């Protein structure tokens, strides 16, 4: 496909399928739910949900209930009406969207008695809302605390427009093996099991338990229960590069962010680059202009820190982002424009050459990884891919 936009995110569906199969193999005894929240971590939720269903995922999860409706449409259209959808961010005034979601069989989370009452109003006994009760086991995000949990169960059991189908929670330290991290996880496990016991004792028999994300699929067999919720691993990225890198885990990056150089220019020694002149050319230099900026989700923190890979004919080189990242463009240092003897050097790349910010090194040799960018920008790989702007076309390959 031809796009006029000077950059694109190549989304490699075969890499996604590889990762999905790998995660299913790592934890073959449990159900796998594929997480496609935040537009599938920037990869495009409709296409990713369908590809996951094709790869064998029987359940898909998405945070926002409104996104769940789009994903439901995409799955139904592709013939996957049997794939379960689960959504857990329930807006306080979400009656309208919740009614549609429940009508369409989307399973929803409930953390408070108020939410339970709202969801009951959106459902009816012929088509009850299918609830996963959320217990806060220590993350202090959504969920009822263990103290509040009996009241939540009671509220959910009080209406015949509701059916409890699951209990779930989320771990705060599952990707961390420090003493504190291990302790926190053990504590959360204990609270979770206490919640499961309360639910059984309240007379609920047929429900599933789920606690963990990718880090549990990879690193915590004891926490898998009936289902795991795989997110970052599906996109070929590690939950924590300090524990194991994506490559060590056998994961394949799905997103490749490519832009074509807009201009190559020569600047003289001492020239400063971009707003505030935070980078100064040490010698006469060749600079490349990359037509992407923070308006596309390229972090401004990448200024003077991240690297890109440039492909010019047979040549490949790494070039550093120099000066501040602008809204729509940034500059890279392509190297010296004169040699030690003062002889002019030709530009190592020309306008139109491909630059890869990050991607799969098997596709783009020696290209930086999302983790390289995360490190340069002092953040996590999740944020780098998820914040890629919606105006960058996604091309599925």
Ligand X SMILES: *Cc1c(COP(=O)(O)O)cnc(C)c1O
Does the footprint of ligand X cover residue 239 (CB under 6 A)?
A: yes
DSSP per residue over 270-325, as a string?
T-EETGGG-EE-SSSEEEEEES--GGGT--GGGTTT-EEEEEETTEEEEEEEES--
Q: Does 43 bind ligand X (CB under 6 A)?
A: no
Per-residue DSSP letter, 135: B
Q: In 119-180, where do the E strands start and end?
A: 129-134, 162-168
Which residue has 């996957």 as its token pair?
A: 80
Instruction: Quote the CA–CA distance of 130 and 136 in Å, as a whole number.
Output: 19
**Distance (Å, whole) CA 243 – CA 258:** 28
User: Which residue's structure tokens are 């070039």?
Assistant: 319
Active-site entry in 26, 134, 275, 311: 275
Q: Is 253 in the site for ligand X (CB under 6 A)?
A: no
**Candidates 70-78, 227-235, 268-276, 305-313 — which segment interacts with ligand X by CB under 6 A?**
227-235
Q: Quick count: other Cβ atoms within 10 Å of Cβ 248? A: 10
Note whether 230 binds ligand X by CB under 6 A: yes
Tell me: does residue 236 bind ligand X (CB under 6 A): no
In whole angstroms, the minimum distance from the beta carbon of 190 to ligand X comes to 19
- Of 229, 285, 324, 394, which one interacts with ligand X (CB under 6 A)? 229
Q: Does 188 bind ligand X (CB under 6 A)?
A: no
> Does position 370 bind ligand X by CB under 6 A?
no
List the one residue out of 103, 101, 73 whose CA is nearest residue 87: 101
Decide whether 233 or 297 has the Cβ nearer to ligand X.
233
DSSP string, 220-232: -GGG-TTEEEE-G
Contact 227, 30 (CB under 8 A): yes
Stretch that binds ligand X, among 94-102, 119-127, 226-234, 298-306 (CB under 6 A): 226-234
Q: Is 128 in the site for ligand X (CB under 6 A)?
A: no
Is 275 noted as a catalytic residue in this protein? Answer: yes
Active-site position among 3, 21, 37, 57: 37
Applying CB under 6 A, the span of 76-84, 118-126, 152-160, 223-231 interacting with ligand X comes to 223-231
* Least Cβ distance, residue 41 to ligand X (angstroms): 7
Which residues inside 83-122 make contact with ligand X, applying CB under 6 A? none
Interface stretch with ligand X, choices 185-193, 231-239, 270-278, 344-352 (CB under 6 A): 231-239
Rounded Cα distance between 152 and 149, Å, is: 5
Residue with Cβ nearer ligand X (87 or 312) = 87
Residue 15 or 319 with smaller CB distance to ligand X:
15
Closest CB to ligand X: residue number: 231
How many residues make contact with ligand X (CB under 6 A)? 11
Measured from the CB atom, the residue of 101 and 259 that comes closer to ligand X is 101
Q: How far apart are CA 224 and CA 205, in angstroms?
A: 19
280 is catalytic: no
Burial class (CB in 10 A: 0-12, 13-18, 19+), 379: middle
Shortest Å distance, C-beta 140 to ligand X: 14
| Residue of 46, 74, 232, 321 that binds ligand X (CB under 6 A) | 232
Per CB under 6 A, does 30 bind ligand X?
Answer: no
C-beta separation of 323 from 273 below 8 A: yes
SS3 string, 328-354, reads CCEEEEEEECECCCCCECCCCCCCCCE
The correct pick among 34, 128, 231, 359 for binding ligand X (CB under 6 A) is 231
Interacting positions 154-183 with ligand X (CB under 6 A): 170
Residue 394 sits in the site that holds ligand X (CB under 6 A): no
Closest CA to 164 of 117, 204, 134, 114: 204
Judged by beta carbon, residue 215 or residue 256, the one nearer ligand X is 215
Please list, in sequence order, all residues whose beta carbon lies within 8 angstroms of the beta carbon of residue 230, skipping any fewer than 6 positions away. 20, 23, 32, 33, 34, 35, 213, 214, 217
| Contact positions vs ligand X (CB under 6 A) | 35, 37, 170, 213-214, 229-233, 239
Which are the catalytic amino acids?
37, 275
């Amino acid at each position: 496909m031809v796009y006029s936009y000077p950059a694109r995110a190549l989304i490699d569906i075969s890499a996604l399928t590889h990762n999905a199969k790998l995660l299913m193999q790592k934890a073959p005894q449990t159900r796998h739910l594929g997480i496609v929240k935040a537009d599938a971590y920037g990869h495009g939720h409709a296409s990713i949900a369908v590809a996951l269903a094709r790869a064998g995922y029987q359940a898909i999860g998405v945070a926002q209930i409104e996104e769940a409706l789009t994903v439901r449409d995409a799955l139904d259209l592709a013939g996957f009406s049997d794939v379960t959808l689960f959504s857990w961010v329930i807006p306080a005034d979400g009656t309208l969207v919740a009614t549609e979601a429940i009508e369409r069989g989307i399973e929803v989370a409930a953390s408070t008695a108020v939410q339970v009452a709202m969801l009951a109003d959106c459902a009816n006994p012929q088509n009850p809302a299918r609830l996963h009760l959320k217990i806060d086991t220590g993350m202090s995000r959504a969920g009822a605390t263990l103290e509040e949990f009996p009241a939540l169960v009671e509220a959910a059991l009080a209406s015949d427009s509701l059916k409890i189908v699951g209990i779930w929670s989320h771990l705060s330290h599952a990707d961390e093996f420090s003493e504190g991290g291990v302790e926190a996880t053990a504590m959360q496990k204990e609270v979770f099991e206490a919640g499961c016991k309360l639910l059984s004792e309240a007379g609920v028999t047929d429900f599933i338990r789920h606690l963990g994300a990718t880090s549990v699929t990879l690193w915590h067999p004891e926490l898998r229960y009936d289902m795991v919720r795989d997110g970052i691993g599906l996109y070929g990225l590690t939950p924590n590069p300090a524990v194991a890198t994506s490559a060590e885990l056998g994961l394949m990056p799905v997103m490749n962010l490519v832009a074509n150089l807009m201009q190559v220019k020569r600047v003289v020694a001492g020239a400063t680059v971009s707003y505030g002149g935070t980078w100064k050319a040490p010698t006469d230099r060749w600079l490349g202009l990359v037509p992407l900026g923070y308006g596309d989700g390229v972090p401004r923190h990448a200024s003077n820190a991240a690297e890109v890979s440039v492909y010019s004919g047979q040549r490949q080189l790494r070039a550093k982002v120099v000066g501040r990242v602008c809204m729509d463009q940034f500059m890279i240092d392509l190297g010296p424009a004169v040699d030690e003897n003062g002889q002019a050097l030709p530009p190592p790349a020309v306008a139109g050459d491909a630059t890869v910010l990050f991607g799969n090194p098997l596709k783009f040799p020696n290209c930086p990884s999302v983790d390289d960018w995360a490190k340069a920008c002092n953040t996590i790989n999740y944020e780098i891919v998820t914040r890629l702007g919606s105006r960058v076309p996604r091309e599925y390959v």
